[in-house]
Structure 1
Amino acid sequence: MEKIYFICTGNSCRSQMAEGFAKTIFPKDWEVQSAGIEAHGVNPLAIKVMAESGVDISNNQSKTIDAKYLNQCHVVLTLCGDARDRCPITPPEVKRIHWPLIDPALAEGTDAEKLAVFRQVRDQIKGNVIDLAKQLS
C-alpha cells in the first residue's frame, strides 16, 4: 500500500483539508494521513468549508508527525514554509513535494472575509490534490 503524508505547522487547516480531499480522490490502495509540527486542534472554519465541498473532517484529530509513518511514505507534502523547514529528514526514496499555501487561520476581518480566505485555500488544495493524484497514478 502506498502512503502519503500532508504536513503543515499545526495540523489544523491546510493539512486537514488536503487529507480530506485525498481520502476522497486518491485510489483506495493509498493510505492518507496528515500531521503537524505541532497539534493545534482542527479549525472549525476548515471543518465548515470542507463540509461545503461534501467532505466531512469533523471527526479528524490534530496530531504531530509520526516518524515511523513518515519514513514509510511514498510521498510527503509540506504545505507551508515552516513545515518544509522543520520537517524531519526522510529516506532518499521518499518523494518530497512543497505546496506554499497561505495559512487561512491567520485571516483577519469579518467572519465572511475569513471564510472567503478558507474557501480560497480549500479550492487551491483540492486542485493540487486532483493534479497530484493524476501525476502519481
Structure 2
Amino acid sequence: MKMAFVCNGSSARAQMAAAIGREFFKDAEISAVGSLEGETLDPMVTKVLSEDGISTENLTLKTLFDMDFDLDYALIVGCDEGGCPLVFADKVVEWDFITNLKDQGEEAYVEAKNQLKEEIKKFYMETFAS
C-alpha cells in the first residue's frame, strides 16, 4: 500500500504525520509531501516526535511536483496558501484543521503532533482495524 501525507504551505505537518503514520501502517510505503518545500526535515518535528519515541529516520520527503500518482491514500494534513492542494489517489482524506506550524514555536508542534496522532489512529481504526 502507498500513502502520502500532504501539507500545503509548510511541509512540517506532512513530515510529522508520515512519521506517526509509520507507527500504524507498518507495511505501507509512506511519503511526506510538502507543496512549497519538502526536501529538508524540520528539526523541530524530529525533536517533538522523539519525545514520544517516534523516529523520523529514513523519512521519505517529497514536493507536490515529485509526488507519486499511484497512491492508495493521500491524507491532506494542512491547507494553507490558497487552499488544499490537488492530489490524486484512490482515496483522499482532508484534515484542514491541523495546527499550522509555519513560524510557530514548540508548543504549536506539540499541539499538531497530538492532533495528528488522534486523527491517524482514528483513520487506522475506521479503515483497517475492522
- What interval of TM-score do these two structures reach, taking the shorter chain for normalisation? 0.7 to 0.9
Report the identity percentage: 22
Distance 1:85 1:72 in 2: 23
Q: How big is the alpha-carbon RMSD for the aligned residues of Structure 1 and Structure 2?
A: 2.3
Contact 2:22/2:30, CA 8 A, preserved across alignment: yes
Match of 1:119 in 2: 110
- From 89, 102, 105, the counterpart of 1:105: 102
Q: Which has the higher helix share?
A: 1
Gaps of 5+ in 1: 108-113
> How far does the alpha carbon of each residue in 1:60-105 deviate from its partner, in whole angstroms, 9 at most, with x for none?
46421234x2x211111111223783633526xx211111212123
Aligned to 2:7: 8
Q: Give the 3 Å change call, closer, same or farther, for CA 26–60 of structure 1 in structure 2.
A: closer
Distance in 2 separating the partners of 1:84 and 1:132: 26
* Corresponding residue for residue 96 of structure 1: 92
- The residue number in structure 2 matching 1:33 is 31
Aligned partners of 2:20, 2:41: CA distance in 1, in Å?
15
Write 1 or 2 for the structure with the bigger share of strand: 2
Structure with greater Cα Rg: 1
Compared CA separation, residues 54 and 128, structure 1 to 2 (3 A): same
Q: SS at 1:4's partner residue?
A: strand
How many residues are paired up?
125
CA distance in 1, matches of 2:4, 2:58: 18
Matching residue of 1:80? 78
- Residues 13 and 46 in structure 1, CA contact (< 8 A), matched pair in contact too: yes
Kept in 1: contact 2:15–2:41 (CA 8 A): yes
1:42-53 correspondence to structure 2 within 5 Å: 42-53=41-52
Cα gap change, 1:31/1:11 in structure 2, threshold over 3 Å: closer, same or farther? farther
Secondary structure (helix, strand or coil) at the match of 2:3 reads: strand
